[in-house]
Chains A and B, each alone.
Chain A
Amino acid sequence: MTTLLEVIDIRAGYGEADILNGLTLTLSDNEIAVIIGPNGAGKSTLMKAIFGLVSVHGGDIRFAGQVISGRRADQIAKLGLSYVPQERNVFASMTVHENLEMGAYLLRAGLRDHLSRVYDLFPQLQERRNQIAGTLSGGERQMLAMGRALMLDPRLLLLDEPTAALAPRYVAETFERIREIRSQGIGVLMVEQNARQALAVADRGIVLVMGQNRFEDSGPKLLANREIAEMYLGG
């Protein structure tokens, strides 16, 4: 296990106001980490801060040993970091196939191999490859969003609430896919509302409160912790 992502004492937010106040976390490759916490704790802001989509006012973010804070999003993507935002996470006016092509935008060659791997993971996408993404169902759209993010063979995948808008039958399937993704050697950092199910697949859980990490432990241990269960997992 080597350290993949280091977030050190980061302060970030929209405009001048900080939503993250000195958050620190590290992530190893081949690990699923789940961030839980109340609304407004800064879970989504953390993901955006890693990709430079919000203003970072202090601290350092390193990926595979390189400082990435202050870099452009496309340069960060080049290093092997992928991100699936919670909303507006597909190109709604483009076809499924074109969405996946955009995922491989930085790829010079070998599009076919990468495509077939994503289609193996999400067979439904292949059936709908010429459909406009905006007309997909919520579950299919989430698969496409993850498929797009996986096209470049990232070393780390950031997932912002991958199951938030899904019907219950898709939730379990999504977590199953996430486990599969990890088994291919890709690290996963995810924010989840379905905390119990997410922690069940997680190697590590992080509780984020008021822009700082409050607790950190293995997924099962956090689930077993009564205090946390009462406060953050709905009893």
Chain B
Amino acid sequence: MTSPPRRYPGYDVLDKWNSASWDDITRDVVGRRLHDVPQRRFFDQDEWATLQALCDTIMPQPERADPIPLAPFIDAVMAENRTSGTRYAELPPMREAWRRGLAALDAEARCRTGRGFAELALEDREAVLKRLDDEDVQAPEWQDLPPRRLFREIFAKEIVRTYYGHPTAWSEIGFGGPASPRGYVRLSANRRDRWEAWEAEEDLK
């Protein structure tokens, strides 16, 4: 499947911006996410290129002229050292895990294809990530880094959380989005309040 999902045409959670579903703190927080995309502060140029290519592989957005920015928010997490509370014993601290991991990913691509990860086409990038997921890596840069854990629980988890934390993604999946102080009235199956997404019937299967 290469075409993007189109299950909720015409639905945009931002249409509720001035409604009772959005309160001041939420408008403030989401407004900053929409309008103050952070500048690169943490990763260097090479790491940044690999990170962007990684984001484009895990959450490709070919249909969008103005895609959800992912790499800038991950860079901001690193710059501010916003840890998640868990450092797995076989992984280095968060910032080091990302730096060394991106370098190892790029090295793995060079090892396999002779080109850097960021220079590869989508399907070749996917193939390299599949190697990580299968723990089938060759580049010496991996040293003791566990490729699958790094791919799934560090890289992919942070990237998908960033994507599905964005209003554009909420609209894409028909999520109600912010809901305070107004919540919902109709809780049973196949019932929706008028401020919820309408699902296109032709896309149901």
- Do A and B make up one complex? no
